[in-house]
Amino acid sequence: MPDPLSTEERQLYQEQLDLVSSSLREDPDNAELISLQRDLTELLGMAEEHAKQATKQPSPPPPPPSEKWSRDAHPAFKKGDTQPEEKEEPVVHYRTNDIVQAKWLSGDKAFYPAQIMGITGSDKAPVYSVKFKGYDNIENLRAKDLRPMTNKRKADAPAAAPSPTVATPPAPGVVSSAGATVYPDAKRETQNQADSPKPPKAKKIKANKELEAGKSKWQDFNNKSKFGKKSKKESMFRVPQGVNSRVGFTGSGQAMRKDPTRSRHVYQINEDND
């Protein structure tokens, strides 16, 4: 148990006690100094008693010496206890629209041909959304529940397929760097789709009704514009259309005014005498 007061603290309290004792000699009736002297004396007494008890306590025994030879430390006995390390299988990464063998988790837990519709999750733990052939339901599977398609097939023990058209599932595929091969049924379906008759192309039909409606509107507008024109009466102040035309009244009985002819005036002396 450690000492509650260090050596410096005890020395400081001792000096304070001596100072209080000298002050009491001058003023022995001071109650505050008497109380302070009593507290310092009790504190120093407790510290000395604690130090004496600490010296009386025996020291803890030393630890036993370690054995030079130990059965547990010997390498010959460690080999039997070690467990074989489990090797992690490499993760195969598939792509969207790949045809693979997928485990039917919601059914009989067997592998059947399926197509990868989407990929989610992380690169280390991808989640594949697969759709089994002949079914519309989609299941989310891990990479361990998928196998690449191979050309090899088991001749014995055909598995029960969820669809009667699906052939026996192939053996587990070997992981390789090549991409997944296309299932033969998929090729057959694409070939059947190519051989099937294509629907006739829609012919371009002219909008005859719209054209006729536009024509009728234009004809109505043209007819209205013709009828809207009122025949103007001939005005008496009208101007003929000719180049040498002159302004005059029509129907007044007078002929059209003619412009005076321009001639050169010859000045004569006899005109002044007259």
The domain limits of the chain are 7-54, 99-183
**Is 159 a residue whose pLDDT tops 70?**
no
Indicate the class that CATH gives domain 99-183.
Answer: mainly beta
Q: Point out the least confidently predicted range of 4-8, 130-134, 149-153.
A: 149-153
Interatomic CA distance for residues 77 and 68, integer angstroms: 16
pLDDT band at 155 (very low <50, low <70, confident <90, very high): very low
Handedness of CA 19, 24, 30, 35 (dihedral sign): positive
**Is 29 a residue whose pLDDT tops 70?**
yes
Task: Give the highest mean pLDDT range of 21-35, 173-187, 239-253.
Answer: 21-35
Q: What is the pLDDT of the chain when averaged over all its residues?
A: 70
pLDDT band at 52 (very low <50, low <70, confident <90, very high): confident
Burial of 148 (0-12, 13-18, 19+ CB in 10 A): buried
**Is 198 a residue whose pLDDT tops 80?**
no
pLDDT for res 140:
87
**Is 271 a residue whose pLDDT tops 70?**
no
pLDDT for res 154:
45
